[in-house]
Amino acid sequence: MSSSSIPQHIAIIPDGNRRWAKANRRPSLFGHKKGVEVMESVCYAALDRGVKVMTFWAFSTENWKRSKREVNYLLALFEDVFKNRLEKFHKENIKLMVSGRTEEFPKKLQNLITNAVTKTKNNTRGIVHLCLNYGGRAEIVDAVKKIISEKINPARLSPETISTHLYNPGLPEPDLIIRTSGEQRLSGYLPWQSEYSELMFVDKHWPDFSEKEIEQAIKEYQRRERRFGK
């Protein structure tokens, strides 16, 4: 794999955990557990290849509509990640960032998120950015609310005004967005930031995604020519 033109920011919609579990005759919740394990391994594989930011849509604003049992299981998984996997991320010099309406989570999870973000804020190897209770329209609505609260003159509004009021405005826009499990839509994922992102749709369910697939995705990205409207 050429070291040139490595995507600096890859954003992933890790879809298909439940379908993977069903196909493998496992409980549907086991698919989410396996998905978290794959997320961690793919992070390290991508960073080892020169990617600087890995973003994952781990929980959408629509996911609250799922069964109470599944939602509680997912929240418990997030608690485990921020509590029991934090030391490894920190030791690996990885910075954790989170975007979304996390204030709607249980207080315990909110505190774990805050602690993880604070503890790793000075790490420099790369960034793992988790979208939790995230929706693209919700992010834009929240950005507009911030702008209104700051009483910014409407005549001064620009695309940069919106960009600087997003959840984590310091992050670069994604070069490549990958969605697994055969779905060919973004479903409101990073709508503002994805204007010129390259898109890649993979048939494999997320738990079957591996280091091999992330390497293939980077190679495919390198074969494309980005024009940025030119």
**Residue in 15, 17, 133, 175 annotated catalytic:** 15
Long-range contacts of the stretch 165-173 (C-beta < 8 A, 24+):
166/99, 166/139, 166/192, 166/193, 167/99, 167/100, 167/134, 167/139, 167/142, 168/97, 168/99, 168/129, 171/9, 171/53, 171/55, 171/97, 171/127, 171/129, 172/8, 172/9, 172/52, 172/53, 173/9, 173/197
Indicate if 142 belongs to the active site. no
**Residue in 63, 115, 123, 168 annotated catalytic:** 63
Indicate if 15 belongs to the active site. yes
Q: Which residues are catalytic?
A: 15, 63
